C-alpha cells in the first residue's frame, strides 16, 4: 500500500508541487484546442476523470468529504475558473486565454489585503509587477486578437483562480471537498451539450482522459499539496511558468506563432518568479 503524508510542511517541497501543478495545467491549451467538441462538453466530460482521480487521492490520504458554506463557495469559484478558461481557450488563442487568466496574482493581493488584512511585502508586489510586465510583453502582439467575449471570460477565470488559491485559508474551507463540488458542477453544466457530441475517436477520448486525470486531476492535487507549505502569493507567482509553457506547447502542436516579444516576456516572468520562489524557500513561510 502506498503511503502518502496528508500534508506537506517543507517549503521547498511545496514550491516543487506548485511548479509541477503549473506544468500539468499548461497542457490544457493545446489539448483543449485539439478536441473538436464544444467548450462545455470538454469541461464537463474531463471533470468525470478528474473527479475519479481526486477521489482516489482522497481515499489514499484518508481525507473525508466535508460540506459547509465555505466549501460550496470554493467549489463554485473553482468550477467558474475551470469552465471559463476552457471557453476562453476555445474562443480566443491559448496565449490570450492564459495571459488574461494570469491576472490572478493581481486579484490575489487585494483579496489578501482587504479580507485577511495581510499586506504583501514590497518584494511580493515588485515581483508581481515584473511578472505581469513580462506576461504583457510575451503576448503584446496577441492581446487584441480573438473574441472579446473569450478575453472577458479569461479575466473572470483569473479572478476565480485567485480565490481558488485562498480556499485552504478560508474559515471552514476544504480544498479537496471544494474540488469535488467543482467537478460535479462542471459535469452537470456540460452534460446537455456533451450528449449531443457526434465525433468520437480513440485519440479524442485519450486526450479527454488525459485532460481529466493529468491536466486537471493531478494538477489540482499537486496545487493542493503545495498550498500546504507556501503562501498563496508565493504559489500564484511560482505558477507563472504556466503562461510560458502553455502557448509554447500550443505553438509547437497547434501552430500558434511566438514572436521576439514573447522571448523577452519569458525571460522577465521566469527570472522574477524563480528569484522570488528561491527567496521564499530560504526564509520561513508565514501563515498567510
3-state SS, one letter per residue, for 132-160: HHHHHHHCCCCCCCCCHHHHHHHHHHHHH
- Closest residue by Cα to residue 253 from 87, 26, 21: 26
- Contact assessment for residue 33 and residue 254, using Cβ atoms and an 8 Å cutoff: yes
pLDDT digits (tens, 9 = 90+) for 109-152: 777 778 778 787 888 788 778 877 877 775 565 555 556 687 78
Q: What is the pLDDT of residue 114?
A: 80
pLDDT digits (tens, 9 = 90+) for 192-235: 999 999 999 999 999 999 999 999 999 999 988 998 888 766 77
SS3 state of residue 5? coil
- Contact assessment for residue 131 and residue 237, using Cβ atoms and an 8 Å cutoff: yes
Mean pLDDT, residues 181-202 taken together: 97
Q: Counting Cβ atoms within 10 Å, is residue 138 exposed (0-12), middle (13-18) or buried (19+)?
A: buried
pLDDT value at 281 more than 70? no
Most confident of 25-39, 161-175, 266-280: 25-39
Mean pLDDT, residues 52-71 taken together: 95
pLDDT value at 273 more than 70? no
- Closest residue by Cα to residue 65 from 77, 76, 51: 51
Enter the C-alpha cell of residue 158: 483569473
Q: What is the pLDDT of residue 112?
A: 77
pLDDT digits (tens, 9 = 90+) for 77-113: 999 999 999 999 998 778 778 877 777 767 777 777 7
Amino acid at each position: 500500500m502506498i503511503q502518502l503524508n496528508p500534508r506537506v510542511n517543507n517549503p521547498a517541497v511545496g514550491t516543487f508541487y506548485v511548479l509541477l501543478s503549473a506544468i500539468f495545467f499548461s497542457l490544457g491549451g493545446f489539448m483543449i484546442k485539439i478536441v473538436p467538441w464544444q467548450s462545455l462538453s470538454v469541461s464537463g466530460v474531463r471533470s468525470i476523470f478528474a473527479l475519479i482521480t481526486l477521489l482516489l487521492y482522497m481515499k489514499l490520504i484518508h481525507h473525508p468529504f466535508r460540506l459547509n458554506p465555505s466549501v460550496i463557495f470554493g467549489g463554485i469559484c473553482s468550477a467558474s475558473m475551470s469552465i471559463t478558461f476552457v471557453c476562453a481557450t476555445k474562443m480566443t488563442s491559448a496565449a490570450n486565454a492564459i495571459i488574461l487568466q494570469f491576472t490572478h496574482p493581481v486579484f490575489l493581493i487585494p483579496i489578501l489585503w482587504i479580507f485577511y488584512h495581510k499586506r504583501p511585502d514590497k518584494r511580493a508586489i515588485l515581483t508581481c509587477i515584473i511578472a505581469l510586465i513580462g506576461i504583457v510583453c510575451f503576448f503584446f502582439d496577441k492581446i487584441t486578437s480573438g473574441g472579446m467575449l473569450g478575453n472577458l471570460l479569461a479575466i473572470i477565470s483569473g479572478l476565480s483562480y485567485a480565490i481558488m488559491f485562498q480556499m485552504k485559508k478560508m474559515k471552514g474551507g476544504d480544498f479537496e471537498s471544494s474540488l469535488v463540488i467543482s467537478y460535479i458542477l462542471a459535469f452537470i453544466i456540460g452534460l446537455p451539450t456533451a450528449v449531443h457530441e457526434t465525433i468520437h475517436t480513440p485519440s479524442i477520448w485519450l486526450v479527454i482522459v488525459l485532460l481529466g486525470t493529468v491536466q486537471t486531476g493531478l494538477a489540482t492535487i499537486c496545487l493542493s499539496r503545495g498550498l500546504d507549505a507556501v503562501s498563496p502569493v508565493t504559489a500564484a507567482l511560482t505558477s507563472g511558468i504556466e503562461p510560458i509553457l502553455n502557448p509554447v506547447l500550443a505553438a509547437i502542436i497547434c501552430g500558434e506563432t511566438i514572436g521576439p516579444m514573447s522571448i523577452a516576456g519569458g525571460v522577465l516572468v521566469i527570472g522574477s518568479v524563480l528569484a522570488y520562489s528561491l527567496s521564499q524557500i530560504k526564509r520561513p513561510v508565514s501563515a498567510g
